[in-house]
Each structure stands twice: as C-alpha cells, then as structure tokens.
Structure 1
C-alpha cells in the first residue's frame, strides 16, 4: 500500500504549534447566534441607559445647565419644540407672551417644561399696548384693530409651520370685569369671530374669556411654584417636602411631595394672598363652610386625571381697598373728616395753615404734606411708628372670629412651622427700596428699621436721597409715604394675616431666578396640562407596532435574563467547540510528526 506524503502539505519549517482552524457550518451558525444574542443584550442595555441617563447626571450641574439654556435664544429651527401664546388683557393695557416647550419626556407624572420664548437678542418675547381692552366697551367692532399688533407680533415669532398647533389664549382681567355683561360679550364675540379668520393659531371660543380674581390668583400661584421647581419630584433628602392630603376627605392617603410656596401681593389698590391648604379643613359653622367654597380651588395639574400627585387645593382671596395707596387714601379721608368736623364743632383751627398743622404719626419726623378736598389741610409728621400702627389697625376690619382675616373673610389656618411665602410689589418696595433689608423678611428687624426711619427728620432723609443712598427705584413720593406704608405692611402681615412676629420663611422679592413671574405662565401651564397625554398615547401606539425594538428590561426582566443566559450558553458552547477543535488539531499534528520519518525512510 502506498504511503501518502504529507510533507508537501506542511510549512517548510517543522516547528509549528497548531494547524489552521477551519470552521464548519454548525460552528458558524453557533458563532452567529452568539453574536446576535450579544448584540441584542447590548442594545437593550444601551436603550435603558438612554432612558435613565438624565437621572444619572449630577443634579447641580443639570440645574445649572437648565438655567444657562433658559438664557439662550429659542431655537425656532428645532422641529421638536411646541409653542403657546397668552394675552393678558388688563385694565391699563394688554401684553402678549410667547412660550415654548420641548416634547414631553414620556413620564405621565411630570409636567411640561414650559419656558418663556427668547428672541435672537436673548430678550423675552413680550409686547405691550395701551390702553386696556375695556376701553372698547362702546366700540367692540374695533377689538381686532386693537389686538392685531399683538397677534402679528406673536405670529412673527412662532414658526409658520407650528401656527396651527399653537394654542392662543386671550384672558381678560379687572377692567373687563367692571363692564356690563353685554359689553363683555360683544368684545369676546368679536374676537371669537375674527381671530380664526386672520390667524392660524389653535383658537376656539373657550380660549377667550374674562377670568375671575380667584383664577388670576391661582394662575399666579401655579407660575411661581413652577419656576421654583416645587412641582418636581422629590429627588433627595435635601428637598423640602411635607405630607399633603390631596382631598378634603381625610380617609384618602397622603401624597409625599415638595412643599409649595404661598404668595402675597400688594398693589396700589388691592391685596391678594394664595397658598396651598394641605390638610382637611374643619369649619366653625355651615355659613363659614359655604363662604370657603368660593375661596378654595382644587385642581389637577397632571396630564392624567387618574394620577393624583399633582392635585392641589389652593386658597385665594383678593381684598379691594387694601393696597398701599388706597389704604393711605382711606387714612387721609378719615383725618380730613375728623379734623374738619372738630374744627367746625369746637371752633378749632387745626391744619388750616402750615403754622398750625395736624400732627401725623404716619409721616416721618418734620415731613410736610397736605390733604386737598373741599379745603386744604396741612400735615406735619411726628414719626411715631407704634402710634401709626395703632391708628391704622381699625382699617383691617379684623374681628375676633377664628380663621378670618380682613373684614371677617374666611382664611384657612396656616401651618407657620412648615410653610414658605413670597411677597411681591409693596412687600418688596417697603423692605428694599428704602430700608434696604434684602429679600429675607425679619419682623423684629423690620419693625426696628421702620421705627428708625419714621423718627428720622425729613431734611436728613432728603440728604440721603440726594447722595443716592436709597434704591434707584425710590423717589421722593416713596420717601414721603414710606413711614405709613411700612406700618401698613407690618399690620397687614401680623394683625391681618396673623403671621407670627418671628416668622422667618417670608421672602420679599421682585424677580424669581432673575425673571419676572407673570400669572400667564401659570395659565398656559394649567390650560395645556392634558397635551402630554396625546404624546403618550401616540408613543403607546408606536410601541405596540415595534415593541421588540423598544422593550426595556426594567419592565421585562424575564426577557433580559433569557437573553443573558442565551449569550452565556452560546459562549460556553463556543469555548467548548474551540477546545475540541484545538485538541483535534494537536492530535493531527502529533500524527503527522510520527508519519514524517516513515515517509522519509520509504
């Protein structure tokens, strides 16, 4: 039998370690299967990482980057952005605000991230016109001419392709409330008829309305809490939170969430307070319970009514005549009536000349002023803060009933040990513009500073004013009436709303995060709260068609572990196959080495 010579099939060198590895069809299939399974698991892990990546970021860096992004011009070329337009039709003028928000993140418990639009110069997209829309009461046919500049302004900033899906809200406040119902109706009808003809915004009859003072207060409360992040989830133990009962029904479970802030706002004519009522209420009488219904608003900011994490019950009350300027006017009217009556009945001549002025404790020391009605009454300040507080306290109309504020209006109890408030307008002007006490309110320090100011002579105050020692916002009128307004703010807080003298959780500010907070932000957040639900439903439909691509091992542990074991098994089989191949190659090598001498000897 002829011997086969294998030497020609071997390398020139006799010293080699193994023969080449040649894969069979079965080996190739096993290797391909292992590769596919490994890629599948890698894809699942990558998708899950993409889903949770925002939560893996450093929280402080994330907040910082969000603030930086908020300062940048809005990228109108980003097709994923959505827009909304709100027009505040106030008593003295109307302003349009344009907002935008990115696509909802898919979590049904999160709210839309609504922000004010910025133009290319990083300026908020806002435009104001005067006078108020209520001035058209006798000429409603001119309503479109009045609002057209604001509508064109918004249309120019919102990308044309987005107009049809951009909601437009025209919300009228105090001025329109004072008109007759027929006059209000004619103006609103003019808008509902003509706006859809000229503009492609998402607009219907329900988008133009006259809102109540209660609604306005709720929207303002929503706006500031949204900007402060108080509607966000609790992320760590440093987040301030408390147990909130979301319904008046004490049998329902409490929801643990961040503590919201209350707001205090004092203008020239009115005063407003709004805060969340976190606990079930107990009423002293059926009459009080009925009165409370008109002052409490319960609403759900969540996109799904079945989720109660964002159910809030807010108390809102507006007090006309309790603003700083109007309170001073009431005080002067009382002085005028009392002095003129006393002069007439007793034959006195107090206040009829600058030489015999009426001594007013609510004007700073030696400050001169006059009251003019049927005659001129001369005043001169004695700067007595305590006496001033004593004289103006009756204007609060505070009774002895529990759970009441001004003029006996119902007020739910405030948990002062676990609450936080922000004071705007006059609260800020009184503490900062002249007294320069910063944003953190301290009742004891404030009272002392106010006493010192009242006791300071007018000539000294005027010298300080000329040296620019007060805020640039303070003028001589502010300086003249600062003593009175300091006392009024103090009494409103501590005698009217019953804030403790040592209450330390009140900040008096003008801006929040360097931004002026408008109630229109809260309005558009509330009115667009269901929009995320549309995106979530669309995503659900897409998911049902391509679930194998979008599955997450967080929600399907079995699939993940099955893939893992498939990969592991494939790797084990592959290693065993390689060992077998290697062993066979070693055997073939040994046989060839044994066969070579035989071939050479033949």
Structure 2
C-alpha cells in the first residue's frame, strides 16, 4: 500500500475506501445527491423556522387573548395608582346642561405599532369610575367669562386628588365644549376659552396647552362617539378569530388598489337634549360631501394605513329630545292661539278648556308660556296620532337618500350592519318601558302605546312603587310618550331604517363600561403617544440588550441566516466534487504508469 499524502485527507464525516493508488476513494456527489442534501438542509431549517413562527404567533395570540380577557375583568377593579408604568389623562365635557370630568388611565404601550393604547376609565378605591358632574352648563357664565376657571376648578381639583401627584406633569388635560358653547357668539366663546387658557396652567400642573381647550364641532363629537363605541367593542383589534365579522375595505387616500380585511365597525345613533347625531363607516366608492365626511388615521404611525377610516357624520341641531319637545310646544301654542283668534275660541286658556295633547299620557297636565301668556295642555295618550303630528318636524324632502332636514345620507347595508343607540335612544327604551338592549319596532310600539294610554294617576302610583329606573323622575314620566314617538320617527322616518331592522342595540354601558364620546376624544388625541413609547423602547434596547429586537427583525434575521447556511452547503458540495474530479484524473494517470511498468511519480497536490 502506497503512502497517503496530506492532499488525500478529507473531513472525517465522509466514509472512504482505498483506491488502487492507496488514496481514499471519495463518493461521487452527483447532481441528485446535491439536490437531496440541499433539500434536507432546507427541510431542517424550515422545521426550526416553523417552530419559531408557531411558538411566537401562538404565544403572542394567546397572550393577546388572555390580556384582553384580563383587561375586561380588571377594568372593574380599583386602579393601582402605585404602578409607575400607568399613565393618566383627563377630559372635561362642557355640555349644555352641565360639565363632567372623566379621568382615564392606560398602561405602557405593548410595542406593536398596529395596536392602540389600552385606555379605560380610572376607578377609585371603591371601584367607582372617577367622574364628577357640576351644574349648570358653562354657557351660563357667558356674561362673566373671567369666572370660567373658577367654574371648572372643582372638576380639576377632583381629578388632581385621584391622579398621583408625580404623574400630573405628564397627564394631558383636554377641556372640550359642545353644544353649550356652540350656541354662543364667537366673541363669547373666545372670552371663556381665553380665561381657561390663562388661569389653568397657573393653578394646575397638568399637561395643558392652548389647543387643549376648544369648542368642538358636532362633527367632531360624532367622530369621537363612533371611535369610543368601536374601541370598547374591540373593532380596532387585529383579526385573530375566524368567527370575527370582517369587511373588505379599500383604504382612503392609499395608492394601493388592493383591499384589506378588518373587523366590521358599528354605527352610532346619539340623541341628546339639543341635537341628534348619526355616524357610520362608508366605503371609498361612496361620494360624500366633505362637510359630512371624516377621514382620519387612528393609528400612531401616519405611514400605517390599517387604522384609516372613512366615516359619515351628520349632526342635527334642534333634533334632540328636549329641543324637539320645545319646538312642538311652540308650534302648538302659536297654531292654537291663531285658531282661537280666527274662531273666537279660548282653547288652552284655562285648566277647564285645555288643549288636548296626544303626546302626553292620559290626563297628564302641563303648561306652555310665551310672551306673557300661558296655555294649558292635557294629555289624551294617543301614540299613533302623536306620531302623525310630529312627522312634519322631520323636515324630510321627497328626494331619495336624504334624512332629517333633507341632508344627504349614504346608503346603509341594513342586512349587514350594526348600530348602537345612546342617550335618548336608551332612556326611551329602558327608563320606563324597561326594554333596553336589542331593539324591536313592533314590541316597542306596543309598549309605547300601552304607556301613553295609561292614566297619569296610575303612572304616578307605579313611580312611587319604584317600578321604573332609579334615575327616572316625574319629568321623564310626563314626556316619555312624546320622546318615545320622537325617537321612533327619527329612527324610521328620519334615518329611514326599515321597521324590521334587528341590528340596533340601545345601550348606556358596553361590557359594564359607560361609553362616552370623551373616550373617543382621548383615544384620538393621544394616538401618537404609542409611537413615542416604541421609539424610546427601541432606543433603550439598542444600548442595553439585543433581546429587544422585535419579532419582525428576528424574522428577517432568521431568513438571512437560513439562506447563508444553505448557500454554504451547496458551495461546499460543489468544491468537493471539483476535488474529486481532479483526484480521478490523477488516479487514472497513476494506474496507467503502473501498467506500463513506469516508475511511480509524485501525485500533484489536490488542495
């Protein structure tokens, strides 16, 4: 056996046999073997890769589901004010009849730029929401605007007493005024706001700037209400369940023509004392006037389009429950007085000759005063006739796709939509009739008719026995008949919802949480805070430890490593094949020399 040169040495993992020359014979790596080796390497890599993906996705999905479940449970628990990672925010709602302060809190953002802040109402040690209301409305100080900060101070003192002092400087404060100030002149509005902007920073350490105190439009209020309900319903969360109701959406303003799938959002109906609002998402293909359309990005990154929404919003001043009753009474007074003058009658001029009002319960009495004159009204409780009388107040036109006051209303996919009704929509169905929740037109009409046709003395007796909602009062009892008819007509005649529509839910709370437009306001106004937290976290991670890399970065890193390993294996196999071919040529020459009796020559080095 000849001496083995160093050039014949190869990795020990290969099995060799001796050639006639004494040099180990390598297996010939054919193309098929190369492919098999590549496939095996790829399979092993993909196996580890799949385990990595499944582990991370399942773990994150499980954590997210568990977190959302725990969040809904802990929403009812007292807020842990000792938690240094908890943040706070304050919204003051300056309405027409009074002002309320809401204190919100949220934990550190989870680091996913697609997710919103987990904002919820703060709860005190008794697990009650941190909310305080004062009366009257801020518009009552229109003639003394220098007292605006004194007026609102009790609300801010209340909020300051619940938020840890160390957190005051970083807690944003928003003072947002609605219809109460919108009815004032611009000079009166500005005088009140200027006093707030000047005095509040002197007495409170909250994060507050001039832009944090303003009179918001009805359109803004509607958008905030829409954001609030959909956030509580979880409609802005990622789709992780096949049972989720999804819609195909073309992102407004996006150059990408492809649509995305996301959770179907709910529409809102809100009837306050002065105005009524409707808001729902509309497709990109629907042409809507700019004054009725809100396009906004709710996400923290303007370049991410997952949270871009296109919402139709319409506000109808004078169509709230109280304003509608006042309009109705003014009409009754003027028309009756005119008829009295023409016919020489005295209808309504005394309790003995009252105006018979179909929109009051049977025998219920009230008075209407105007220009120093008083008119007496007595109820007949005729719900159907009441509806007929108030239908002209809808101000509908004969044109299609219009609603209250002849305002354009985009088509609603009634069979594939969901709406929530708040304020009077809830009070009218629940406070007295005790049928809040899923709305059914036929059942509602029957209950309203029965109530209206009941004698006032019987209704009062039931009220004394506590058969109605705890916050229902004599005013609610007296005007329940009118407001039921008004709500019904606004919904079915004004907004054209069919009588068999079954996807309206009237609500005061969702998941045991009171849904207010103020929640949507703070969500929208703090939407960029997560991006700041993410950037800070990434900055810390870059200088502290590599584990702060996000899943996306690990994902790409793993793919790069996989390709490098696969390429290295293929190159190594090709190198071995070239070496083997050289050895074959050298071995053949050596065998030929032996056969011819020639002396053995030194084999050239293979490496």
Q: Place the TM-score, normalised by the shorter chain, in its bin.
A: 0.7 to 0.9
Give the distance between the partners of 1:188 and 1:196, measured in 2 at CA.
13
CA drift at 1:495: 0.5
Instruction: Tell me by how many angstroms 1:494 deviates.
Output: 0.6
Alignment RMSD, CA only?
3.2
Unaligned stretches of 5+ in structure 2?
Answer: 1-47, 567-607
Q: Would you say the 8 A contact 2:179–2:274 is kept in 1?
A: no
Picking from 251, 262, 266, the partner of 1:261 is 266
The 2-side partners of 1:392 and 1:493 are apart by 13
1:303 counterpart residue number: 300
Displacement of 1:297 in angstroms is 1.1
1:71 aligned residue: 76
Aligned partner of residue 404 in structure 1, secondary structure: coil
Deviation at 1:92, TM superposition (A): 3.8
1:57 Cα offset (Å): 4.9
Residues 158 and 369 of structure 1: CA distance in aligned 2, closer, same or farther (over 3 Å): closer
Secondary structure of the corresponding residue to residue 273 of structure 2: coil
Corresponding residue SS for 1:554: helix
Q: In the alignment, which residue of structure 1 is the partner of 2:229?
A: 224
In the alignment, structure 1 residue 82 sits paired with structure 2 residue 83: no
Counterpart among 496, 499, 507 of residue 498 in structure 1: 496
Question: Structure 1 residue aligned with 2:215, among 188, 210, 223?
Answer: 210
Q: Which has the higher contact order (CA 8 A, sep 6+)?
A: 1
| Cα shift at 1:115 | 1.4
Deviation at 1:393, TM superposition (A): 0.5
Report if aligned partners of 2:284, 2:310 keep a CA contact under 8 Å in 1.
no
The alignment of Structure 1 onto Structure 2 pairs a total of residues equal to: 515
Structure 1 residues 522 and 187: CA distance shift in structure 2, 3 A? same
Query: How far apart are the structure 2 equivalents of 1:140 and 1:387?
Result: 46
Shift of 1:109: 0.8
Q: What is the match of residue 117 of structure 2?
A: 112
- Superposed, 1:370-385 pairs within 5 Å as 370-373=367-370, 374-385=372-383
1:518 maps onto 2:516 in alignment: yes
Partner Cα separation in structure 2 for residue 538 and residue 305 of structure 1: 18
> Within 5 A, what are the aligned runs for 1:543-558?
543-545=541-543, 548-551=546-549, 553-558=554-559
- Report how far residue 493 of structure 1 moved: 0.7
Equivalent residue of 1:556, what SS? helix
Q: Which of the numbers 322, 342, 355 marks the counterpart of 2:319?
A: 322
Cα offset, 1:114, TM superposition: 0.9
Return the alpha-carbon distance in structure 2 between the equivalents of residues 507 and 429 of structure 1: 12
Partner residue, 1:453: 451
Helix, strand or coil: the match of 2:420? strand
* Contact 1:250 1:280 (C-alpha < 8 Å) held by counterparts: no
Aligned to 1:540: 538
Distance 1:353 1:196, change over 3 A: closer
- Asked whether the equivalents of residues 241 and 259 of structure 1 are also in contact (C-alpha less than 8 Å), the reply is yes
CA distance in 2, matches of 1:411, 1:252: 26
Distance in 2 between residues matched to 1:562 and 1:77, nearest whole Å:
49
Report the secondary structure of 1:540's partner residue. helix
Instruction: Give the TM-score of the pair, scaled to structure 2.
Output: 0.77
How far is 1:232 from its partner? 0.9
User: What is residue 347 of structure 1 aligned with on the other side?
Assistant: 344
- Tell me if structure 1 keeps the 8 A contact 2:542–2:548: no
Query: Alpha-carbon deviations, 1:184-225, whole Å to 9, x = none?
Result: 334333433444444433222222222212112211211121
Q: Aligned runs of 1:143-542 on 2, under 5 Å?
A: 143-247=148-252, 252-282=257-287, 292-373=289-370, 374-542=372-540
The residue that corresponds to 2:102 in the other structure is 97
1:128–1:336 CA distance, 2 compared to 1 (3 A): closer
* Separation in structure 1 between the aligned mates of residue 154 and residue 321 of structure 2, nearest angstrom: 34
